[in-house]
Structure 1
């Protein structure tokens, strides 16, 4: 059974979860993550070019490619979660 205190607590928790201040932090973190991913892909490009010209050893190339693969899997997982959340919103009755 809901009491006034339970309802007030639930409202307070929901209000802070969707406040604009909280969303701004998430946007900044997502923006930073995208910049880090772009930097990782640029590093792979640089290292692979260096490996083709003989300036970078193969071990470093393999290590960089493995790190890029992990970064790509992370980005794909985030994208999948965003798409899933968007689809959940679309399924909500209006």
Structure 2
């Protein structure tokens, strides 16, 4: 056997191991779960502050802060959704 062939086979085996995907299904699911929970908590806090402001229990400054946080959260979720849809459409356009 030629030594160059042996080195090539070893290098290929090492590269194949390095390129093998590692299962990380829990990380992505946990990240999206945390994101959704944070989004829901932000909206719930905004609604609670708005209700309190309507009955006179919260000051207008707190209401403006809560509405601003809710608006930012909604804009972020819409942007992420648009990027996901765009990526999906790009995948659909790929030639088979």
Question: Where on the TM-score scale, by shorter chain, does this alignment land: which range?
Answer: 0.7 to 0.9
Q: Where do 5+ consecutive residues of structure 2 fail to align?
A: 1-7
Q: Normalising by structure 2, report the TM-score.
A: 0.77
Distance 1:59 1:80, change over 3 A: same
Alignment RMSD: 2.2
Shift >3 Å, 4+ stretches: 3-6, 8-13
Q: Normalising by structure 1, report the TM-score.
A: 0.78
- How many positions carry a matched residue from both structures? 88
- Give 1:21-32 correspondences, 5 Å limit: 21=24, 23-32=25-34
The answer to whether structure 1 residue 12 and structure 2 residue 18 are counterparts is: yes
- Structure 1 position 9, deviation (Å): 4.4
Listed one character per residue, the Cα deviations across residues 47-73 of structure 1 (whole Å, up to 9, x for unaligned) are 000000000000000001111111111
Larger Rg over CA atoms: 2
